[in-house]
Chain A
Amino acid sequence: MPLTTSEANDVMRRMGRVFPTSIQMMTFKDKYEARRELGMSIDAPAFYNAGTIYVILDSTDYDGCTMLVAHEIGHQFFDPGSIIPYYIVARLFTKVAGLGRHQIKDVQLLVNVYSDITVNNIVWTDKRFIAEFGQAGIEKAFEDFYRVKDAVDMMKSGSFTTFSHQGAFNFIRGGMALGYLRNHDPARYKTTLTIMPSALKTAYDKIYFLIQERDYAIREVQKYYEHAIELLKSMKAAAL
């Protein structure tokens, strides 16, 4: 059932109570209308650019829209706060690792990956957010989008190769699965960490630090750079 414009507006209105922000939303009936209006193809159900969240109505539903909007706003509120530290972290890592300047795009992808995990894990446990939207709907939306249950099963069975060797999206799924276990099965979460390959565990540990700190990039930008560089090193070491 496609989302309606008034529902999308309702999501934004309620989101304003949780995360007050000046971010605006623009909706499109489908990806074709978005392409006509924006002059570019949109493959995602939503994306954020320069103060505006663009939502493709027929690609999501109420909970999905809530998740997407919370995710995009979360990047502004928690990690990396704005696009500038995002860019600088990537630049710094390119410099520190001795990479060519054309490889900055690859590094930016990695920054986006750990930032996505950080933001998602903050949002779906945020008390204000749950008080406004409830837990079940948003959790279900995250689970569906990232196929979290499936990732959790893989972790339970001790199969970790997918998360480290099969691309950025699977690494995010691993981060979401760990978050799910933390929230719902703390004992299993601890066990999982003990059997996880150390390189992968180091990377996820460093992301967990950011989740706990919530808005580290905004409060302590210099320390954030240090932490982010070490995190990116560990992600590379984990074969990403």
Chain B
Amino acid sequence: MKLNFDMYRPDPKWGVDDQEWECWMLEFIIYNPNYAYEYNSYLVSKVKSEILKNIVPPEEISKRRSERKAGRWRRVSGLDPDDRRPQYLTSLATFGDLFFGTTSGYHREFVPEKGKKFAMQGSFIILWDCDRDLDQQSHPKCQYVQHQLFYNSLVTVYALVEEAANRGDTVTLLTLPQAVDDMMPAHAKIEARRAPIFPADYVNADGNWNFHYDDMFSQLKNWGRETIYPPSDGLLPSSWKRHTIQLEKQGHLSPGTGEVSKYYYWMNSKDYDTMKEDLLKFVFNGHGVATELGVGMVYLQRQLNALDKSKRGTIVIITALPTMGWFWPGYHYYRALSKHFDMYIFDISYNYWYMTFLKEPNFMLNGKPMFGYVNLNTLFTLSPVNVKGFVNLNISAYSNVLTITLNTGQDKIKQYQLLTLSTVSELMTEIQKDFPELVLDRYTIQNYPTELIRDYSMNLPVKDGKLALLGPDGPNMTYKILKVIGGGVDGVSVT
């Protein structure tokens, strides 16, 4: 019997608020993993409804919005035999202006503008990094409960599979790392999901690095992990790069290190329903290893070589970047991919790498950033791009007081009480009043509670960059990712 968790939610008189209920359910599933399917279903449903609730005003997906930029609709006589809109049969009863926006006996066909490339089908690549860095955060309200991010990211992947289905794209879903092997659905046939064998040896564009792997997801070298924090100008120091490469070359094998999932993956599939059903059966079962994402990208590139490059594609990487040690060395491979794919990297760490993805030459192609980088803990960003005489911008949160300092030859300092301005939208409104010269961009939901913002500071010395106010925001990652990639939930575009 399929259980509906909310059916069991105690009446309001018990004073169990939404947050507490969520904590209870999360803790329940940690101790009762056999109910993972019910919990995951509950979470998917909850996240979807919250996204829809938080979109104000709800905007129905309309072809018109994208059409204006992308092309125009042409009136054509006769019925359209290829019309696959789900309401087509129903619409026969209302044939005419009401549904088709055409007079009787005509339909419309889309004519793309010149220079716009459209294809009916694309590739949607989801790289789900399940490693311990992704799962490091606990629930913001019930910090004793771990693994929240695993389930949050699971819902996100579920939503992305739905998004790919809506786009008509084939899905490639790679899960990392090895620990996910323990999380695979109990019902799944292991062999059916086992990764294929690939030829050994890979030499990168520089001819420097050789990889010797027996199969797609075999034991890999350990990447350098020298810690580095986001440089304010975005540029990774040469000394750090040299050292990181040296570490890589001295890489050693240690048990469980650098292993990615052997079993759970999908390649170029349109079996969306099976994927979604599988995801609902995933259960967190512990992490043993750290992800070697850069290595995963090597193989991703191989997969993409087999795809039709004339088709559009989207790559969504869900990961954590507490350091750049293992991610940066793979930039060669990303470069090749970025020619054909929109690449997004969503980072759940507390390091804000926006400037590095914007400015670091290794992450650029033809003078443009290769990645759309979003830190998933971003509440909103501040940009001084319009500030005359800009020198420096600083943001710091300490003891529930947010301080913003804008220097244009002299300091302009404003402070905000986070317990008084209780939601992110209220806080942004006040900041915008005080700093009309700054461009503010909200990433999280409007009613995000500011009391969750942790002590934190960030500095921006260049005009064409961004600062971000960060706060634990794992539960909203699905909203954020869909908003950034222009996705939708149940037919409603996420704004």
Contact = CB atoms under 8 A, between A and B. Distances in A.
Interface string A8-23: 0000000000000000
Interface stretch (A58-66, A77-85, A169-177): A77-85
Task: Report, as a range, how many residues of chain A touch the other chain.
Answer: 10 to 19
Interface in B14-35: 14-16, 24, 28, 31-32, 34-35
B93 interface: no
A88 B24 contact: yes
Nearest to B34: A50
Contacts of A91: 24
B491 interface: no
Contact of A92 (B7, B10, B31): B10
B34 A49 contact: yes
A84 B144 contact: no
Given A84-B8, A221-B8, A92 B28 contact: no
Interface string A217-240: 000011001000000000000000
Nearest to B144: A101
A221 B5 CA distance: 12
Given A88-B8, A92-B10, 5 more contacts: A84-B5, A84-B28, A84-B35, A221-B8, A225-B14
A128 interface: no
Contacts of A51: 34
Contacts of A222: 10-11
A22 to B, nearest CB: 8
A87 interface: yes
B3 interface: yes
Interface string B19-55: 0000010001001101100000000000000000000
B16 A83 contact: no
Given A92-B10, A101-B144, A225-B14, A87 B3 contact: no
Given A88-B24, A92-B10, A92-B14, A83 B32 contact: yes
Contact of B3 (A50, A84, A95, A225): A84
B3 A88 contact: no
Interface of B: 3, 5, 7-8, 10-11, 14-16, 24, 28, 31-32, 34-35, 144
A92 B8 CA distance: 12
Q: Which 3 A-B pairs have the closest CB atoms?
A: A50-B34, A84-B8, A87-B28
Interface string A37-57: 000000000000111000000
Contacts of B10: 88, 92, 222, 225
Q: Which of B14, B24, B32, B34 has the most CB of A within 10 A?
A: B14
A214 to B, nearest CB: 18
B148 to A, nearest CB: 16
Contacts of B15: 95
Contacts of A82: 3
Contacts of B35: 50, 83-84
Instruction: State the majority secondary structure of interface residues on A.
Output: helix
Contacts of A95: 14-16
A24 to B, nearest CB: 13
A222 B28 CA distance: 19
A49 B28 CA distance: 15
A170 B313 CA distance: 66
Nearest to A104: B27
B141 to A, nearest CB: 13
Contacts of B32: 83, 87
Contacts of B8: 84-85, 88, 221
17 contacts: A49-B34, A50-B34, A50-B35, A82-B3, A84-B3, A84-B8, A84-B28, A84-B35, A87-B32, A88-B8, A91-B24, A92-B16, A95-B14, A95-B15, A221-B8, A222-B10, A225-B11
Nearest to B8: A84
Contacts of A225: 10-11, 14
A73 B5 CA distance: 21
A50 B186 CA distance: 13
Nearest to B32: A83
A217 B5 CA distance: 14
Contacts of B11: 222, 225
Contacts of B5: 84
A54 to B, nearest CB: 13
A88 B32 CA distance: 13
Contacts of B7: 221
A82 B35 CA distance: 11
A96 B14 CA distance: 8
Q: Please indicate which of the listed interface residues A82, A84, A96, A222 has the most CB atoms of chain B within 10 Å of its own CB.
A: A84
Q: Tell which of B5, B10, B11, B31 has the most Cβ of chain A within 10 Å.
A: B10
A231 to B, nearest CB: 16
A51 B186 CA distance: 14
A51 to B, nearest CB: 8
A131 to B, nearest CB: 26
B21 to A, nearest CB: 9
A83 B3 CA distance: 11
A50 B36 CA distance: 11
Which of A83, A91, A92: most chain B Cβ within 10 A?
Answer: A91
A92 B10 CA distance: 8
A6 to B, nearest CB: 28
A220 to B, nearest CB: 12
A136 B274 CA distance: 50
Nearest to A85: B8
A58 to B, nearest CB: 27
A91 B31 CA distance: 13
A86 B203 CA distance: 57
